[in-house]
C-alpha cells in the first residue's frame, strides 16, 4: 500500500492501492490481517507412508518431512524430484517444495514415524 505524507499536516496516511479514497475500516486490512490471510496454519501430521513409494506435495506450500527409522544406526535416504537430498544414519528432516515428488527409497530396518509439517488442519 503506498504511503502518502499529507502536505498540510505532515501526518503519514495510507491509501488503498488503485484508489484516491483514504483508507477506512471497510477497505483496508491491517498488515497482520493481510499476512494472516496469506499464511496457512501449519501443523505436524503423521500420514501413513511406505518405503519406496513416491508421494507428491500438492498442498500448494512447502512442507517439511521428518523420517525416524525403527532403530539407531539405520541407513535412511530421501529423494526429492528424483534427486537424492538426504542420506544418513538416523533421522532425516528436509523441506519439500510445493508440487515436488518425494520418496524414501531406503530405510533399512523400517520406519518408526514419518511426520510432515504442512498447511491445513
Both 67 and 32 in one domain: the answer is: no
Number of domains in the chain: 2
Separation of CA 30 from chain center: 23
| Alpha-carbon gap, residue 10 to 34, rounded angstroms | 26
pLDDT confidence bin for 66, thresholds 50/70/90: very high
91 is in which domain, residue-wise? 42-119
- Looking up residue 54, the CATH number of its domain turns out to be 2.60.120
pTM equals: 0.65
**Contact status, residue 57 vs residue 100, Cβ threshold 8 Å:** yes
pLDDT of residue 95: 94
For residue range 76-116, list pLDDT tens digits in order. Answer: 889 999 999 988 888 889 999 999 999 999 888 888 999 99
Mean predicted lDDT score pLDDT of the chain: 78
25-39, 63-77, 84-98, range with the lowest pLDDT: 25-39
Amino acid at each position: 500500500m503506498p504511503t502518502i505524507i499529507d502536505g498540510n499536516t505532515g501526518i503519514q496516511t495510507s491509501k488503498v492501492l488503485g484508489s484516491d479514497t483514504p483508507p477506512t475500516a471497510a477497505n483496508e486490512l491491517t498488515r497482520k490481517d493481510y499476512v494472516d490471510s496469506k499464511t496457512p496454519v501449519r501443523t505436524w501430521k503423521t500420514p501413513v507412508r511406505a518405503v519406496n513409494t513416491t508421494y507428491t506435495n500438492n498442498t500448494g506450500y512447502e512442507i517439511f518431512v521428518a523420517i525416524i527409522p525403527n532403530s539407531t544406526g539405520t541407513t535412511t535416504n530421501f529423494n526429492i524430484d528424483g534427486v537424492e537430498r538426504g542420506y544418513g544414519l538416523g533421522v532425516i528432516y528436509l523441506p519439500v517444495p510445493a508440487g515436488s515428488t518425494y520418496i524414501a527409497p531406503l530405510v533399512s530396518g523400517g520406519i518408526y514415524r514419518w511426520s510432515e509439517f504442512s498447511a491445513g488442519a
